[in-house]
Amino acid sequence: MPIIYLVRTAFMIYRWILLARVLISWVSPNPYHPAVRTLYDLTEPVLRPCRSLLPAYQGIDFSPIIAFLGLGILERVIMGILYGIFF
């Protein structure tokens, strides 16, 4: 089904964007660079609520871990619903 493929692809792309955000944060990027701004704009709406669940500990931000886990759970729920509808 095309919708299932589209949903899986969207989750996979967002995971790559989130991973890029994590990796780029290790090198102190220029926050005004358009690519960095885009990464921050795409990921901050997901990471901000995660930070309230688990604040940074000794300068280490664990919010991406919560975001990856949450995305995995959300993807499984949505895929379960879609498989229930189409199969």
Q: Is 34 exposed, middle or buried (0-12, 13-18, 19+ CB in 10 A)?
A: exposed
Question: Residues 37-80: pLDDT tens digits?
Answer: 999 999 999 999 999 988 888 888 899 999 999 999 999 999 99
Task: Please give the model's pTM, rounded to 2 decimal places.
Answer: 0.88
Query: Total domain count for the chain?
Result: 1
- Domain holding 64, by residue range, is 2-86
Amino acid at 45: P
> Of 45, 1, 38, which is closest to residue 20 (Cα–Cα)?
38
Q: 59: phi > 0 → left, psi -120 to 50 → alpha, else beta; which?
A: left
Give the per-residue pLDDT at 34.
96
